[in-house]
Structures are given as C-alpha cells and as structure tokens.
Amino acid sequence: MKRPASASASPGLHWRNDTLTYRDTTAWVLPGSDQMRVFGQPIAKLSQAETRLFASILTIAALLLAFGLLAEEVIEGETLPFDRKLLLAVRQAGNPGVPIGPPWLPEAARDISALGSTIVLGILLLAVVGYLLLTRRRAAAWLMLGAVSSGVALNSLLKFSFARPRPDLVVPAVRVFTASFPSGHATMSAITYLTLGALLARTHSEIPVRIYFMTLAGMLTVLVGLSRIYLGVHYPTDVLAGWCIGTAWAMGCWVLMTWLQRGGQVEPPEKS
C-alpha cells in the first residue's frame, strides 16, 4: 500500500508508513484504487449531548413499539388470561370483591389513585406553570402547559379508538366513567409527572436536583398505575400501555425542550 501521488497535507491528516491517520482514526488506500477505507473509531465522535439525544429517540421508538404490540394483543384478546390472573392475585380468594391486605390499604390506594385524577393533575400543572411564570421562565411554562394539555387530548383519543370495556371479574372499589384501554390515570400521571419532572430538571444545572425531580416523578407514576390494578378498575395491560405511551410522550417533551434551549427559544438551566 503506497501513498497516492495526489495525496496532499491537510490539518489533522498525517502519513506514516503509507498509512493515513486522522486523530484516532486509521485509514488507507487499497492497491489499484483511489477508494479510502476507514477503520477504527469514527472520525467525528458524537458529543455527550448528541449521544443522550440519540438514546432518548431510540427509547421513545421502543416505547411506541411496545405500546403498538400490546395494543394489538389486547385487540385480539390474547392478554385476557394474563390480566385475569393478576387481577385475581390482588383479591381475596373467597371474595373477589375485596382486595387483599389490611382494611386501611384500599383507602390508601384510593388516595394514591387520586394523584392521577384530572382534578389533582390540573391543580398541580397550574401550580408549576405559575411558578415558572413568576421565575420568568415563560417559554418553559408555555411548553409545559402545551405538553400536558396535548397529552390529555392524546389519551382521550386513544380511549375512544380502542373502547375496551372495564374489567368485569371483580367489583371495582371506585366508580369509573370512561373506557379501559389505556389506563387514563397511568397515562396522564406518566405524561404529567414525568413531563413536569423532565422539564423542571432541565431548568436546573445541579445533578442532585435533576435526579430528585425524575425519581419523584417516576415513583408517583408507578404508584398511581399500581393503585388502579389493586382497586380493580383496570386490567394490568391497560396500565402497562398507559406507562408506555405516557413515558414516550414525556421523553418527547424533554427532547423538544433540549432542542429549544440550544436554539435559545427556551430559557437555559440555572447556573449554580
């Protein structure tokens, strides 16, 4: 392998023993050909921010794919044995109308379930938007309001499209008025809490603060979904589907805010 006669020096390019190197990348010209083959690491490495963005997009795609596959199985009725087994597992064997556990546990589950209700989430959203407006993060406030509001519309559209009946194996511990798939509480708690957590985390540069917001948001989302199964108002697959679509929506909002912050349309994180 010989150095081509047409090769010229360029910044960052070095010839050594008929081998062309560029930073940490090795390349050479095949005999009888002007085609350059590159081996080793990429010439241009992705930055840390670009890597996180790419990973987020892949995760969103995986969540949407999981939701689609789950929805297909639900439509075909393939998930009913799984749903029934888990629903009955949290009910007393001799009396399926009563959840397992001490007498106070159903009441606690109803309180946790209320954290995913439209009223509670609406109050929380207005409180956070008000905080952002008072701290002069107007773009972030409008973005958060739009993200959650459009999530509500998405959830309503999905419920109307699938129109899955509520579980009839047990007597529900609370009253319900809408279709079953996906779980509205699971979807909206994921959309709201994870979106709020992600967008609030993006307004702070301190890593512990970001971890705190995201951990709290994740715990609330999981607890609300589990409470709906325990109360007998949703099949487990309803909750799983709600988590998938809600988490994908929240991550999409995080990606959007990151992109807008880089372009200057949204306020950057605070500097410590």
The closest alpha carbon to 130, from 141, 146, 143, belongs to 141
pLDDT at 49: 63
Q: What is the arithmetic mean of pLDDT over 26-34?
A: 43
CB atoms < 10 A from the CB of 254, how many? 23
Between 89 and 272, the higher pLDDT residue: 89
Q: What is the arithmetic mean of pLDDT over 176-191?
A: 85
Residue 42: pLDDT band with limits 50, 70, 90: very low
Percentage of the residues of the chain whose pLDDT score is greater than 90: 23
Written as six digits, the tokens of 190 are 């994921």
The answer to whether 91 and 170 are in contact (CB under 8 A) is yes
- Is the predicted pLDDT of residue 200 greater than 90, yes or no? no
Q: What is the dihedral of CA 156, 157, 158, 164, to 10 degrees?
A: 70
The answer to whether 240 and 70 are in contact (CB under 8 A) is yes
Written as six digits, the tokens of 209 are 């603060």
Give the model confidence (pLDDT) of 92-129 as tens digits.
877 777 788 888 898 999 999 999 988 999 999 999 88
Give the model confidence (pLDDT) of 201-223 as tens digits.
776 778 888 889 889 999 999 99
Q: Is 234 a catalytic residue?
A: yes
What b/e sequence results for 110-139 when a residue is b if at least 16 CB atoms lie within 10 Å of its CB, and e otherwise? eebbebbeeebbeebbeebbeebeeeebeb
The answer to whether 232 and 172 are in contact (CB under 8 A) is yes
State the catalytic residue, choosing from 137, 210, 228, 234: 234
Q: Is 14 a catalytic residue?
A: no
The closest alpha carbon to 235, from 160, 161, 169, belongs to 169
Give, rounded to a whole angstrom, the gap between the first and last alpha carbons of the chain: 55
**Sole residue written with tokens 């007393």:** 92
Q: What is the dihedral of CA 222, 225, 227, 233, to 10 degrees?
A: -170
The answer to whether 182 and 236 are in contact (CB under 8 A) is no
Q: What is the arithmetic mean of pLDDT over 81-96?
A: 84
Residue 163: pLDDT band with limits 50, 70, 90: confident
Q: What is the arithmetic mean of pLDDT over 81-87?
A: 88
Percentage of the residues of the chain whose pLDDT score is greater than 70: 74
State the catalytic residue, choosing from 137, 159, 185, 202: 185
pLDDT at 268: 58
The answer to whether 23 and 43 are in contact (CB under 8 A) is yes
